[in-house]
Structures are given as structure tokens and as C-alpha cells.
Structure 1
Amino acid sequence: MTAGTTRIERARMPFAKEVVWAVALEHGVCIRPIALRRTDITTGETEIVDVPCGATLASVCPTCAERKRQLRMAQCREGWHLTEEPDLDADDPDETQRWLVELRADATKAHDAAAGTERKQLGEDLAALDDEIQRAGVRGNVDPDKASRRVRSTRRRKDVTDLPRRPVDARTVGKAYVAPDGKTFRPSLFVTLTLPSYGRVRSDGTPVDAASYEYRRAARDALHFSKLVDRFVQNLRRFVGFDVQYFAAVEPQRRLAPHVHLAIRGTVSRAELRQVAAATYHQVWWPACDEPAYDGDAVPVWDSDLGAYVDPDSGEPLASWDEALDALDADDAAEPVHVARFGVQVDAKGVLVGSRDARRCIGYLSKYLNKSAHECHEPASDAERAHVDRLTEVLRYEPCSPACANWLRYGVQPKNARDGMRPGHCKAKAHRRTHLGYGGRRVLVSRKWSGKSLADHKQERRAWVLDLVGEMADRGEAPDRYLWEHARPSDPDVPSISHRLLRAVAERVRWRSALDDAKARADGQLGSSATTGRAA
């Protein structure tokens, strides 16, 4: 303790490590970098290189999460008001891809001619080769599995209105309108879809009467919400007659039910949007799961000889997933376990490119992208925490997928059952308190939104910076010159995390200074060009 410093004053001093983290965050440095060891195979020199962790949640790494959020904002902005159709023509296969497929052809012939242990080994080689083909930049599978897929009747329910089906035009760009003054503009839409009510709620989202609040329906709607959104887009495309493109973000309301915001390219009338939303539903054709067949400690046990779960008393194997679906198909009076629908509230507003509304809507779409579902509305009272607890408890035993362990509670073997599964302990993220029942992707982007992948947008931003600063990313070095491997923090050649963060801060400051200087030079050149033009 230095002279003049009291014990209390010293206790209030921040830790040095916390100061380093604060400085790193201030300069936009990842605070959880992954250390990689890079070895130059020509010289044998090794170097520890930090790469960002790439986290999407601010609670894990604020810097990486904000960078991801900004990238999504750029993706939304670029695709929302396109004036020309995106170019999505597939590239011709390169030599490497052709060579790998030729290898796959020879391996397939050998696999078909083999038998027994040799055939099994060749099957594993085929799977490894398929992975290599996909890493080479090929979409889909060379030899897709033709496993039987259950198809149910597509007859529409009688309690919803029919939608006319029009031929879908290949266009994705919205129509252009010409104002009386001759100005052309292409309006787009910002749409919000919500789920129906499960009971009256207060301003903080908590139910007025928790006993009558429909928690089970709320849980099932959340579990199947992504399928409902997909069905809405399909119906909308068939109804309006063009390939509607969208950028959507899913987030929970204060009552904890998920809702979706969609940036839609082009325009659709509000009446048509409401008509499509009212006629959209998703039926869940699963075995009955309302009343548990097993409860408490009496749960099915795994029989290693049968490779299946059996009744704890009789020892009889439970019905497999396929057998349970067969019984459901054979029952003419069967009803779906759940029917998900949208609520009556459908909000839509027109948005023009470059307007204040467009910027506001993009910010609204990305507002919670760097937060988990439960962080969007942190419970601030006992009533709110109790509301989360009740929903989480219902979700604990609700089946989330055909492979969910909770099917054991209802006397059905999960799909691809394995030893160690226990009802109420499914590891799927939909059951976690941080997801509130929604296990799908938080950002939903149609394939023809901008004509680019997220990696393409990231590369464009990087190329813009490098071009402005004047540094080249490719120094002419062969890509196979280096060997990369993960380095453990305990390895002697890996500096401490504080040392690595300080080094990254210094590098970040250098880049920021170079970028500011480059921008100043570019602005100066533009200013001088404008002055020269006016003088001429």
C-alpha cells in the first residue's frame, strides 16, 4: 500500500486485468481470442496468432457480437431495396471438384461390389469423401439418401379460409412506381407478426391469472414458431405471385412469446397480408403427448441387448418412433397434437430506400441480435421471474423434436434412441431458460435477399478497408505455406491473455490511425476535385 492510500481506497481500485479488458473493448478488440500456432513450413518459424472468438452474444464477447450485428445490418440494408435481380447463377465445377467426384464414382463402384466388413469400411470412406466434396465448395450431396419421407394429406383445415394460388413469377424485385413529378421509387415493407393471446397480461407481460394462462399452448407455439414463419412465407409467395424475399429477426415479446419482424422487398397490401396471416397454420402430427404414460422415478430403462428402451415393469420395448407414426396414420379420427397460428395483430408499414424510417427499421431488426432471448426483457420483479419459471417448467417436459428425450415420458422411443436419455433432461437449446422455447435461428434470410452470403458481405467490408488503407491482404504467399494448430493457454510459447490483448490494442490503434488518415486523404481529393470542377 502506497503512502497516503487507505485500505478502503485500495479496495476500490480496479484490477489491472479489468482495466485491460475495458481498454480492449473501447478499441474494438475481442476479449476472448483463440490462440493459433502458425508454423512456416519453409523456415520452421512459429508464431502465435490470435483470431476473434466470433461470439454472437454480447454477454460472451461484446466486440465480436457487435461486429456480427453490424454485419447483419449491412446485409439487411443491401438487400432491402434492390433495383436489379440478384445474380445467383451457379459457378462451373472446378478441376478439384471434378476430380473428387471421379474418386467418388470409383469408391461407389467398389462399395457396391463389396460385402461384410469391407463394405462397412468402404461406407465410412464414402462418408469422409462426401465431406471432402462439400468442403471443396459443392452444395448438397452427390448421392442423396432416398430414405422414405412421410407425406400427409395437404387438404386445408375447414376452420381457415382458402387462399387463391397464383403462378409464382421468378422476379424478386418489387415494382417501381412513378410519381406525378416523374420521380421513380420502389417502396418496401416492414411487417410484424405475433402469436395469439394465451390470457390477459399486465404491462410487464405477466399474466393477470396465472392459473388460467395457457402455458402449454404458449410453449408449443414457441417450439414450432419457425415452421409457422416458413409456412407464412410460402403462402405469401403463392398468393401474391412473385418470389417474395425477406430479412427477418425473431425476438420475444415482454409476455415471452416470440414474434417476428420482417423486412420484405416489394409491396403487398395490408389487407392481403392479414388474409395470408389468418389463413396460415402449422399442424404438428406427432404421437399424443398430453398425458404422461410414465411419471416420477418410474421411467423406461435402456436394454442394451435390444438396443431400445423398455417398460420398467414388464420389460416390453416401447413403440419406436416409426411405429407410433404408423399408428397415427392408421387412425382416421386422429387430430394433430398442436396447430400453431398467428394472432390477429399484423402490423405493416411502407418504407422507402434511404429514408429515416428505413434506418430506424434496420436498427429495430438488429436491436436484440447480440442478446439471448431471455436477455431481451430481463425480469425485474418477482412476478416476472415467476412467469419465466412457469414457462420453463412446462418446456422442460414438452417434446421439442422427434429425437427429444421427453418422448420416453409418453411411452414412445425417441427417433435414433440411445442410452442415457432421460425425460426432462433434453439438451436441445429450446428447453433452456435462455431460449424460452424457441430453438430456431434468430435471423432468417431468404436465399435471394442480396445475392450474397454473410461471408461475402464480410469479405467486401474487409476489402474496402484494405483498399482504403492501401495494404494488401495477399502478399503473394502460397496458401499452403503454413501449418495451423490450436495452442493451449498453458503452452510455454503462448503469452498471457493480458499481453495478447495489449498487443491487439496496439495493432488496432495503428489500423484506426491508418484508416482515419486514408479517409482524410480521400475526402481531401474529393474536395479538391469539386473545387476544380466549379472553377472550370
Structure 2
Amino acid sequence: MLLALTGDVAKQLAEDHGVCVRPLAMRRIDLTTGRVDVVPVPCGSTREDVCRPCSDKARRLRMAQCREGWHLEDEPIPAPAAPTDEQKQLMATRADLHAAYTRARADGDEQTCEEIRDAVEELDADLRALGVRGRLAPLDPPDRPVKRSTRRRQDAPNLPRRPVENRTVGRVYGGRYRPSTFLTLTLDSYGRVDGDGAAVDPERYDYRRAARDAIHFPKLVDRFWQNTRRCVGWDVQYFGTVEPQKRGAPHFHAAIRGTIPRAELRAIAAATYHQVWWPAHDTILYSGDRLPRWDDRSRGFVDPDTREPLPTFDEACEDLTRPAHVVRFGAQVHVKGILGGTEEAGRHIGYLTKYLTKSVGQAAGLDEEASERQREHARRLVAELRITPCSPRCGVWLLYGIQPKGARLSTTPGQCKGKAHKPEHLGIAGRRVLVSRKWSNKTLDDHRAERAAFVRQLLDRAGVRPGYAVDDGPFEWERTRPGDEDVPTRPALLLHAISERQRWKADYEAAQLVTGVLPDNRSATDDQAA
């Protein structure tokens, strides 16, 4: 019983070689020759506890993305191409169809409206195929939201507003130095915590505000970047990651291209807020066995006692005079200047991506070694998150006597599938990595393609032709099903992938020796940043 299992040996060997330990068996069909092969395809997980090799690969890709856009000296985005005659002609045709649709809708001609919708759908597909990006005006006007006052709150300081220049790179100092910025933003305090992040006095800790701040934290970050661009006067670009603190509250690390004065960033953080214009959800009206019930006649939820329909989300928002919640940053704002190409820059890139392979709960220290006080603190926070609505469509609204948007028979009162309510997310339901659009002018797929193209070019220069290369094609991919006789076992798939990886590595090292492109003797910090 103490002997090693073959599956465990294959899994450990795969991890040692950087091979996915949970490969998907895919059937590859060569449409030219008809040859069919079952090949292992990486799972692509970003979680270390699911697949360490795939999560490490995803983390290195994010590090490369951060490094390439942080200390740029030239603008990464070229000027948009001028519209072509064909694009303008199709857009003019769409304008005519839009006018015809408006007239047909006013006349009540539903058949003509349906024909115009089909024509516009085909026209939009042609515009996308011609390279037109951006939002196209819908035929049916969207529902206008209730107007809210845009006047700044009296308890928030004012910010200067400057015209935003069309540039993303920072200033040069001393004729040769172009530093950038590393920024950390945190939320406010909800009560005293100990060294492990657990509340010293749980009865006085404001778990309700902590839960709401965590859910609406992404909106606050978006508002911060809007205020930053308006205040500094240029198009600020950033690469940021959202991570939990030990107390469970999210905080934000960001690499900013260019420099912004520390006092100015602190002033922007202090003046940034986000108002949640939702119905009040402070008192639970329904709980236990007394929950709203679905009524087929009214096609909505009704009170279990009176059978009166519950107000919809939009109806509950009509008479709002004040927001249900206001989220702000805390006083702690850390700002540091970083020079590109230095060891310090590599350290901060590694720090930015340090916890991307872990879940939110693991990053907050909620693992096997967590103390009982930490677990109790997390349980109280999760209990509050379960009764805090995460969106207008959240089923938790029914506990407060409000029908969520899109309510239907399958909606369960008090239940929501959103990640914000799950214990392992601690209210952080959005993306963990936030990258501005003009950071590097490349997507993650572009970065993957660049790495693959570099290897192919190196092999071509060295004249190395891999024995496993497939020149035929094109291919068609097909999912395998459990029980298929041609699908090998998981250990066999792992051994096949390991053998393939060993051949790749041997060919790559041979190409390096022939071309003289050898890896530098860099430090571990530089290797992390590479």
C-alpha cells in the first residue's frame, strides 16, 4: 500500500516537465489524408490546485503582458484606418433601413419590421467582416434609465478637470529617464483586526458594509480611472490585479505607464466614490418557509399571504431619493516610482501576478493552516454576502420584497448562482486582472502567437525540422466521449504529452546551439519578469 501508483508517478512527471496534468482527449481529423489521431489538449486552468503547469503558463503569459506595456516609449496604438468606400456605402444603407424601420414601427407594420431586422442583421455581419468595430445603433431604442443627479456629493472633495490629451506614454526626465508608477489602493476599515486579519470584536465589525464594498469594488475602480484621466490630462494606461487582504476585503495593485505625483493620486483616491442607486435592502421581509411564490397568472412573484404582486426592480427604483450604498477607498494609498529594465521592475511584476494561480480564499490565507478566528471571520462575511444582492437580476432581491429583473419560475428566492455569494470568492466576483485597452495593443492570444512564432523562426534559422511536425491539413477537431474505444487512458495521455514535450525541448535546445541564441544568466527575479 505504500508503493507509488502509476497515475501519481505520471502526474508528478508531467508537473516536472511542465505538461498539463488534466489533458482533454480531442480527436484530430486530417481532412486531406483522413488520418484520425487522439491527442491531449491542455485544460488551460488558471488555478494551481487544479493544474499547476497550466496555471504557471497562464501566469507567465500575464507577466509578459505586463512587462511589454509598462515602460513603452512609443504609442502602442496607431491611428485608425480611414473608412473605405464599401464601409461607407453599407453604413448609408443601414441608415436608410433604420429610417424605414422607424416608419414601419409607427404604422404598426410588424411584418415589414421583421424583414428589416433580418436585413440589418446581415448588414451588420458584413460591416464586421469589413473591419468596422464599435457599437452599432440598435433598431429598437433602449429603455431610458431613470435620470439621477450627476452633481458631486458635498462630502467629496472636488477635482480639477483638464482636457485629455491623446497620448499614453509618460514624460521624460533628465533627457533619458521615463519612469512609471506602481499603485496600491485599499478599502476603508470596518473594525479592528488582528495580525491574521480576523475581527478583534466581531459584534462591532461592520460586515454589511464590507460585503457591499466587496461586491461594488469593480465599479469603484472604474470610477477611479475615469477621474484619473480627467484630472491628469492624458490617457492613463494600467495593468492591475484585484487581490484579497487577510481581512477578506479586496485591494488593487496597478502598474501605471508614466508618472503621476503622489499627492495627486492620493487626492484622486480620496475624491473617488461610487453610488449604488438600488432599492434599499437593509431589512429582510421574507425568510424561512415564508417566501414569495410564483404566480402563473401575473407571470411574477407574489406575497405568500396576500397574493399581491411584488414590485419590480424598476418600479422600486423610480422614487429613489438617495443611493442605497456609497463605496469609497480607504486612506491607505501606496505610490512608488519604477524605472523600466531594472531588477525592481521585475520584482513588482512578480508581485502583481503572485496570487493569480490561487483562489480568492487561498490568497486571503483561508487554507488548512487558518486559525479558528480566521474561519469564523470568513463565515460571518460569507453569511452577509449571501443576503446581499450582487446585481439587478439577483434572486436575493426576493428576500427584500422586490422582483429581480428577468424573474421567472426557475428563480429561487434568496438563491443566486453569482460568484459573489460563493465562499471561495469572498465577494470578488469580477475579473482578477484588469488591463486598459491601450496597454500593449495585444490580446493574450497575440502574446501566445508571438511566443509560438519565435520558436518556429528559431527552428527555421537553425534548419531543425521536428520529426513530429505535421504539414498536412486542414484539421477538424472533435470531442471524445466517455467509453470511446480509441481514447487512451489518462496515464497514457500524460506519457504521450511528456514524450512530445521532451522532443520539443531537445529540438529547441539544438536550435539554440546552432544559432547561438542562448539564454542569459539572469537572476531569479529577471526570470520571473521574462
> In which range does the TM-score fall when normalised by the shorter chain?
0.7 to 0.9
User: SS at the partner of 1:403?
Assistant: coil
Please state how far the C-alpha of 1:133 moved relative to its aligned partner.
7.4
User: SS at the partner of 1:25?
Assistant: helix
Conserved? CA contact 2:512–2:518, under 8 Å: no
Q: 2:403 aligns with which of 399, 413, 424?
A: 413
User: SS at the partner of 1:327?
Assistant: coil
Q: Which residue of 1 aligns with 2:526?
A: none
Q: Which residue of 1 aligns with 2:173?
A: 177
Q: 1:200 aligns with which of 189, 192, 197?
A: 192
Further displaced range: 515-524 or 419-428: 515-524
Q: 1:347 aligns with which of 327, 334, 345?
A: 334
Q: Which residue of 2 aligns with 1:67?
A: 57
Q: Evaluate the alpha carbon distance shift between residue 138 and residue 486 of structure 1 in structure 2; reply closer, same or farther with a 3 A threshold.
A: farther
Q: Which residue of 2 aligns with 1:155?
A: 151
Query: Do residues 518 (structure 1) and 508 (structure 2) align?
Result: no
Q: Evaluate the alpha carbon distance shift between residue 118 and residue 297 of structure 1 in structure 2; reply closer, same or farther with a 3 A threshold.
A: farther
Q: Which residue of 1 aligns with 2:10?
A: 20
Please state how far the C-alpha of 1:294 moved relative to its aligned partner.
1.4
Please state how far the C-alpha of 1:106 moved relative to its aligned partner.
11
CA distance in 1, matches of 2:207, 2:348: 31
The residue type equivalent to 1:363 in the other structure is G
User: SS at the partner of 1:176?
Assistant: coil
User: SS at the partner of 1:349?
Assistant: strand
Q: 2:33 aligns with which of 39, 43, 49?
A: 43
Conserved? CA contact 1:130–1:141, under 8 Å: no
CA distance in 2, matches of 1:163, 1:154: 15
1:332-411 equivalences in 2 (<5 Å)? 334-379=321-366, 380-411=370-401
Q: Which residue of 2 aligns with 1:167?
A: 163
Further displaced range: 238-247 or 33-42: 33-42
CA distance in 2, matches of 1:209, 1:136: 62
Q: 2:429 aligns with which of 424, 431, 439?
A: 439
Could you state the TM-score of these two structures normalised by the residue count of structure 2?
0.87
CA distance in 1, matches of 2:299, 2:91: 36
Structure 2: 5+ residue stretches without partners: 521-530
Q: Which residue of 2 aligns with 1:279?
A: 271
Query: Do residues 261 (structure 1) and 253 (structure 2) align?
Result: yes
Query: Do residues 458 (structure 1) and 458 (structure 2) align?
Result: no
Q: Evaluate the alpha carbon distance shift between residue 301 and residue 126 of structure 1 in structure 2; reply closer, same or farther with a 3 A threshold.
A: farther
Conserved? CA contact 1:88–1:451, under 8 Å: no
Structure 1: 5+ residue stretches without partners: 1-10, 329-333, 528-536
Q: Which residue of 2 aligns with 1:425?
A: 415
Q: Evaluate the alpha carbon distance shift between residue 525 and residue 356 of structure 1 in structure 2; reply closer, same or farther with a 3 A threshold.
A: closer
Please state how far the C-alpha of 1:457 moved relative to its aligned partner.
1.2
Further displaced range: 446-455 or 87-96: 87-96
Please state how far the C-alpha of 1:459 moved relative to its aligned partner.
0.9
1:110-189 equivalences in 2 (<5 Å)? 139-144=133-138, 146-150=141-145, 151-178=147-174, 184-189=176-181
Please state how far the C-alpha of 1:149 moved relative to its aligned partner.
3.8
CA distance in 1, matches of 2:363, 2:412: 30
Give the total of aligned pairs: 506
The residue type equivalent to 2:304 in the other structure is P
CA distance in 1, matches of 2:345, 2:137: 44
Q: Evaluate the alpha carbon distance shift between residue 324 and residue 448 of structure 1 in structure 2; reply closer, same or farther with a 3 A threshold.
A: same
Please state how far the C-alpha of 1:525 moved relative to its aligned partner.
9.4
Conserved? CA contact 1:250–1:261, under 8 Å: yes
CA displacement 1:179-238 (0-9 Å, x = unmatched): xxxx61101000100001000100000011000000000000000001101111111111
User: SS at the partner of 2:330?
Assistant: coil
Please state how far the C-alpha of 1:73 moved relative to its aligned partner.
0.3
CA displacement 1:161-188 (0-9 Å, x = unmatched): 100101111110000111xxxx611010
Conserved? CA contact 1:48–1:494, under 8 Å: yes
Further displaced range: 373-382 or 122-131: 122-131
Q: 1:324 aligns with which of 305, 316, 321?
A: 316
Q: 1:222 aligns with which of 195, 210, 214?
A: 214
Q: Which residue of 1 aligns with 2:480?
A: 487
Conserved? CA contact 1:86–1:451, under 8 Å: yes
The residue type equivalent to 2:483 in the other structure is S
Please state how far the C-alpha of 1:98 moved relative to its aligned partner.
10
Q: Evaluate the alpha carbon distance shift between residue 239 and residue 141 of structure 1 in structure 2; reply closer, same or farther with a 3 A threshold.
A: closer
User: SS at the partner of 2:182?
Assistant: strand
CA distance in 1, matches of 2:384, 2:360: 17
Give the CA RMSD over aligned residues: 3.2
